[in-house]
Amino acid sequence: MLNVIVGLLGLGLVVFVHELGHLIAAKATGITVEAFSVGWGRKIWSFTRGGTEYRISLLPIGGYCKMQGEHALIRAWQEKSSSIDVEPGDFYGARPWQRILVLIAGPAVNFFFAVVVLAVIAVIGYSTYTFSNRIILARDYVSESESPAADAGLRTGDYVTAIGGTEISSFRELQMIVSRSAQRELSVRYSRNGTEYTSTLVPALDQDTGAGRIGVYPWVEPVVGGVAEGSPADIAGFRAGDRIVAADDSNVSHTVDVDEVIRRSRGVSIPFTVERNGEERELRVVPGETEQGRPYIGIAYETIEVHSPSYGPLGALAEGFRQSLQTLQLTIRGISLLFSGVDLNQALMGPARITYLVGEVAAEGFRAGIGTGLFSFFNFLSLISITLFFMNLLPIPALDGGQIVLSLVEIVSRRPLHPRLVYRYQVVGNIIILGLLFFAVFNDILFFARS
């Protein structure tokens, strides 16, 4: 329940920021704003200032900015009028360039919000937990049709030191570059037994997520970092700091070896040899099962803590802007990948699943600490905010971008558009939006049914 509340507040904040942009621009251009609400539904509390009623409404899912004369178009269409009757302060009574300013302000403030959030994160700094840049080929353990890393000549045990022209020192950095580079050729430099090699690879497209993948796992030393209380490993006597030397009478080199033994166990007791304080001892574990039916023993492995660089205020703003542009590029590329075989049932999400993910990301972060939780929460909000910026500027009727197109046509033609044309344009847009929303909500229902 807490996840849902956090998700609603997060998504609501992004929508509120968007509507705040419309409010500021409307006030600046002389358009009368009748009401500005934080939240939707029944009004809980309000006050009036400057001709605008400011409200707090019952449902904390964003808000709205109601401008004077917004329904004049529908009235003109119903009356079959050849023009829209306007009064001073009406939205349709403003000049086209003023309407464009108001329409673009919402998405623009979303982008600015993302820049500021990422800049604040850059100033404060953050730590992430990952593994080293040493890799294991998935093909060595799982029969895969595609393994770009193996095809490029990499082997299990190699250290990837650079990819796509970027120096890396952790598996997280490798993941970040690969995930945003599906179907794009990347240079790769790797080290094997002290010798450097170079090659090129093309990350395959994961049709479920749209991300790139090259078929590798991180090489994780089998050193226990933590044991879940009451888990099979806890009952068997595992302790943080134990190094797993062997499992089921087979020597293990990394955690994938351990996971393979557990996966094959089928609930049968497994003998483990661990090294503790320089001495070896045997522990026997009977794996349990997750809700999905997968065997587990309840241990976490040691990770590497990576600190972000330190930035001053100006440097942080530049970094926030750089990351925002990078996210925008990834959003645009992600849209293009929808036409490259990505599973729309997985890729297209509705409000319910977005809310769930915001709350889930925040909750997962908070389990690692308040700082990590806040970082995860606001970092994810910046991603949603930039996505909202881009999507709202698409030239689709009923979105801000579609309204901007109408205003630009009016500027070029130097005369107001006929209400019938504008109304039909809006109807087409509403049909498109409702169709996408229906499909997204249906996907959300399937997602929660499978969870």
The whole-angstrom separation of Cα 113 and Cα 121 is 12
The whole-angstrom separation of Cα 436 and Cα 449 is 20
Query: Which of 19, 173, 319, 410 is flagged as catalytic?
Result: 19
Calculate Rg over the CA atoms of the chain.
Answer: 27
Structure tokens at 418: 């006929």
The whole-angstrom separation of Cα 428 and Cα 185 is 40
Residue by residue, what is the 3-state secondary structure of 121-176?
HHHHCCEEEECECEEEEHHHCCCCCCCHHHHCCCCCCCEEEEECCEECCEHHHHHH
Structure tokens at 269: 């007791």
In degrees rounded to 5, what are phi and psi of residue 330? -65, -35
In degrees rounded to 5, what are phi and psi of residue 315? -65, -35
Within 10 angstroms of residue 439's Cβ, the number of other Cβ atoms is 14
Bridge-based pairing of strands 304-307 and 127-130 is antiparallel
Residue 400 in contact with residue 381, Cβ under 8 Å? no
Within 10 angstroms of residue 300's Cβ, the number of other Cβ atoms is 12
The whole-angstrom separation of Cα 131 and Cα 304 is 5
The whole-angstrom separation of Cα 181 and Cα 202 is 8
Among the listed residues 145, 176, 144, 146, the one whose alpha carbon sits nearest the alpha carbon of residue 160: 176
Is 173 part of the annotated catalytic residue set? no
Residue 231 in contact with residue 195, Cβ under 8 Å? no
Buried b (16+ CB within 10 A) or exposed e, 139-169: beeeeeebbbbbbbebebebbbbbbbeeebb
The whole-angstrom separation of Cα 50 and Cα 139 is 66
At 81, the amino acid letter reads: S
Q: Which residues are catalytic?
A: 19
